Homo-oligomer: A and B are copies of this chain.
Amino acid sequence: MSGSQSLEDAIDWILVEMEADGLENVGTQNVLVPHWVRGKETLDIVSPRPRNIPVLGLGGSIGTPEGGIEAEVLVVSGFDDLAARSAEAKGKIVLFNVPFTSYGETVVYRRNGAPAAAKAGAVASLIRSVGPYSMQTPHTGSMRYEEDVPKIPHAAITLEDAGYIQRMSERGISVSVRLHMSAETRPDVMSRNVVAEIVGSEFPDEVVVMGGHIDSWDVGTGAMDDGGGCVATWEALRIIKNLGLRPRRTIRVVLWTNEENGLNGGRVYRDSVASNLDNHILAIESDAGLFKPSGFGFSGSDEALEIMREVGSLLAGIGADSITEGGGGADIGPLMRDGVPGMGLSVDRSRYFWYHHSPADTIDKLDPRDVGLSVATLAVVAFVVADMPERLPR
């Protein structure tokens, strides 16, 4: 987690291993990152039937007063429903019980639920965890406050418990809960992006950059989000090196820090290469887990897309040759907004959001063969684009 000693320890370990792998220009970039600490959390249903339920505070949330916050729950089906019933929200804990459709459609309640509830006078807000499936699995993630709106604690409960509270509420049975959170935001601390390269033989200043983000949420182990992306891009580079291949252009792996709750790593990287952006040929991100890869989603010119489809066709043998239009990643977003073609590794997404930001994001969920296929897909595409006689057009 950004701000944690564990993250910096992991970075230190990676640097040693990357040097041992014989990668070139192994180093770091300092990145100032937020330091949010979860602390202790409990959520108890007080009535109608007392029960302790799983809860995860959302990243950036304030804590509760020491004695917790006890209040009746007002269940709403979304922002419109909250607006329609705002007169009922005062002094209550608002629960946004919004079933998962897509991540984009439902994550808005995680991100922006607290200020919306606070404006209506709520004393805390809860969300149904953002995910399509649950085995009593809470999911954390980042949230925001708004200026001039009171800050209230904001936390996620499981699909099961959100459904229970909804059913009680529909029967006219009032549900009260007591929320304890000792979360706090401490002063920003320094973290680092990790960088390693194979320097190009002919055009060393021209760069194909690829990577994942090295920070993760504090629950689970971040195997999917995004340990996998880090390991796969690093391993792709290591394999190219071990094969004795040196492409015409530089391939650079960057493990960005602070994707989850700030995106500062991606911004610092972009700023660090601002003078060389024209020479950033392609940016590749892997941040959807290392499930079976199908290819890439590409954002760039039509001409470049055609070339990428040709490159992608090399991966037909492993079924990873689908180059679809549109794609990228949060860490390479700043590069892409400045005109660098970008793409994201496409994988089977059927279970990604089962585990995302939850205690179940652990390495056992990944199939070693799928991991290997993802590495191969990244290695082939990065090498070919870095080694083409002509640079990928914009």
Contacts and interface: CB of A to CB of B under 8 A. Distances in A.
A159 interface: yes
A112 interface: no
Interface string A163-187: 1100000000000000000000000
Nearest to A354: B135
A198 to B, nearest CB: 30
Contact of A160 (B134, B160, B163, B360): B360
A66 interface: no
Given A136-B137, A137-B136, A160 B355 contact: no
Contact of A135 (B163, B164, B360): B360
Interface size class of A (residues with CB under 8 A): 10 to 19
Contacts of A354: 135
A164 B363 CA distance: 9
Contact of A136 (B159, B163, B164, B359): B359
Contacts of A359: 54, 135-136
Contacts of A362: 136, 160, 163-164
Contacts of A191: none
Of A134, A136, A362, most B-chain CB atoms within 10 Å = A136
Contact of A360 (B136, B163, B355, B364): B136
Query: Number of copies of this chain in the oligomer?
Result: 2
A358 interface: yes
B135 A355 contact: yes
B358 A160 contact: no
A136 B364 CA distance: 11
Nearest to A54: B359
A358 B360 CA distance: 15
Contacts of A355: 135
A41 to B, nearest CB: 12
Nearest to A53: B359
Interface in A109-139: 134-137
B135 A358 contact: yes
A74 to B, nearest CB: 21
Nearest to A355: B135
Contacts of A164: 362
Which 5 residue pairs are nearest across A and B when measured between Cβ atoms? A135-B360, A135-B135, A136-B359, A160-B362, A135-B137
